[in-house]
Structure 1
């Protein structure tokens, strides 16, 4: 066999490899007993076109690849697609903001209760039994407390509603302390405007209150259901998230996530204990002085104490205003009591109960609470401190060492 010489056109000594491949892929239609002449012409034309394209006689050069990753057009298209995806993602987050807040709150509480479940599992209970015990205990304590507190709350709220006209009359007395406060801050006008007697505003207020109650009840049910699922599937969720991390960094990520979970758990349990102490102390104080609505205000102080920095202060102001209806010395004594309790909580109870789990400076705490409250309301203010502690831990353990090595 003689050696074939290269032909510039690729047509004289047979087609090139791409052309031969094209010839095998283009069958000729049969027409009766012979080949279709139209089909044969099309095949021959395709072979000639392919051979000409693959030939080397191209005065302006051979074509490059179809897609060049460094092409400005391709880079611009990919950048525009990335921007569109991010805009759509942000819109989804904003639209589903309320649902995401409930999911985050349930996950936050689940991480806080995870140490209790782990303790029960180490004592020999299966995980499903430990989760059931924790959830049933939590619901039992909450239900028992509400069953015991609701009758008293209803009676105190009824008494407060019955005394509301007398309170309004005291606001019009310019010689009383409440009257002077009314003259300065126009409290009576604000109350009359919010509960006007034309029927429309009152009906709107009742319907609005009903909607709020329904929303709170449905949100609570959603959080409870999500809490049960999160507590049951928390180990699987952790493993799944860790599998998304490259193997070379997985051990480090596991250590950081375990440390963050431990800090969040300590913070949640410690904050619940502090709120219980604040409510109990307030209830005892108000009973000792004979102040009205002790249980109602004690529950209010306990709930507000869950909000860091400003919660207990707002609760103390509420008790102070109620104490003003008794006498000025009792109100001043209540103010002094809450100032002393706030100092005791900040410098004695918090270090003993929460410990060093959340090491956040005072300035970072205030800024985090303000941002969290502005973004997500009360729930954002509650989770702001542990979230800041987690970010601070990641910055100290990951970002700063890399910057030092740079």
Structure 2
């Protein structure tokens, strides 16, 4: 091919590269906003099965949306009103017990026990090195604490933004779907809409299933920890619920934290042992009884794909990535099964 005007070709190529860089830079700059939008859309899809259930019972969609939002926000406000004072009280008691633990010298018994168990380790030297590092890094630690505080405030405002966007997306979800479908050529629109509806339906059921698992773990943890006399059962139950929302490793991570807190602050280590046995049994029941019954109706993803998707999602987008990784993987498998494979069979 003969190039008629090298300057024009170079200018167009430069403008194309510049436009690509501008788009990538804009995406990076808007990553936080895009994360909020993704989380809100994810939650809106999670509310859609409940709204659809009411709509099928001849409840007008606007009334169904209003009922669902009022009930959920009311339950959330009631939960916060009931739990936050208890959490604040138990967190204060937790800090007091840790302070008392240090002041009374109880930690000395643990220190001597560690020295006896690991005689090859010079704990005095290690502690001195840690203290020296803390002294030299006081400025960095202070800056880190400040950044954590700023992160908590940003997280609060981010949660408010996500709630507002969730309400908007929930109300306008049918219009968003319809507009998206109109962008597809008419000859392929019906097929595209069918696959998109299957994907959004599976995402919604997955969100509801994950919340159901979290509630199950939180409620059972609160009841069991109260029965065995574990310290701060309400606070630990909230931890169990929040960690259970993260697939794959959430329940395990939350269980380890709860057992460690129980071991350090319970009068007897038997309480921690009982809690550990309970969570080992519960994780088996969740993995082989609760999760298959609840989640298989929403998504059908092989176990290896679940592990890879959760790890990849967590590495790319943190907790949000881990949350949406499994439905995204299920959506990709659905597209491969219903679009790619039939097309390959036609060749």
| Same fold? TM cut 0.5 | yes
**Corresponding residue SS for 2:162:** helix
CA distance in 2, matches of 1:290, 1:371: 39
Deviation at 1:188, TM superposition (A): 7.4
- Counterpart for residue 183 of structure 2: 244
- Counterpart for residue 262 of structure 2: 323
- Counterpart for residue 159 of structure 1: 93
**Runs (5+) with no aligned partner, structure 2:** none
CA distance in 1, matches of 2:215, 2:123: 34
CA contact (8 A) 1:275 1:303 kept: yes
CA distance in 1, matches of 2:301, 2:149: 39
**Runs (5+) with no aligned partner, structure 1:** 1-67
Number of residue-to-residue matches in the alignment: 338
Moved more, 128-137 or 345-354: 128-137
CA contact (8 A) 1:194 1:201 kept: no
- Counterpart for residue 55 of structure 2: 121
Higher RCO by CA contacts (8 Å cutoff, separation 6 or greater): 2
Q: Choose which of 328, 341, 344 in structure 2 pairs with 1:400.
A: 341
| 1:262 and 2:196 are equivalent in the alignment | no
Q: Choose which of 90, 102, 110 in structure 1 pairs with 2:36.
A: 102
CA contact (8 A) 2:213 2:290 kept: yes
- Counterpart for residue 326 of structure 2: 385
**Corresponding residue SS for 1:387:** helix
TM-score (norm 2): 0.86
CA distance in 1, matches of 2:55, 2:208: 18
CA distance in 1, matches of 2:217, 2:115: 27
Report matched runs for 1:59-98 at 5 Å: 81-98=15-32
- Higher Rg: 1
CA distance in 2, matches of 1:115, 1:72: 58
| 1:216 and 2:151 are equivalent in the alignment | no
Report matched runs for 1:1-400 at 5 Å: 81-168=15-102, 169-173=105-109, 174-176=111-113, 204=143, 207-325=146-264, 326=266, 327-400=268-341
Q: Quickly say closer, same or farther: Cα 1:370–1:199, change in 2 above 3 A.
A: closer
Q: Quickly say closer, same or farther: Cα 1:122–1:178, change in 2 above 3 A.
A: farther
Deviation at 1:185, TM superposition (A): 9.7
More helix, by proportion: 2
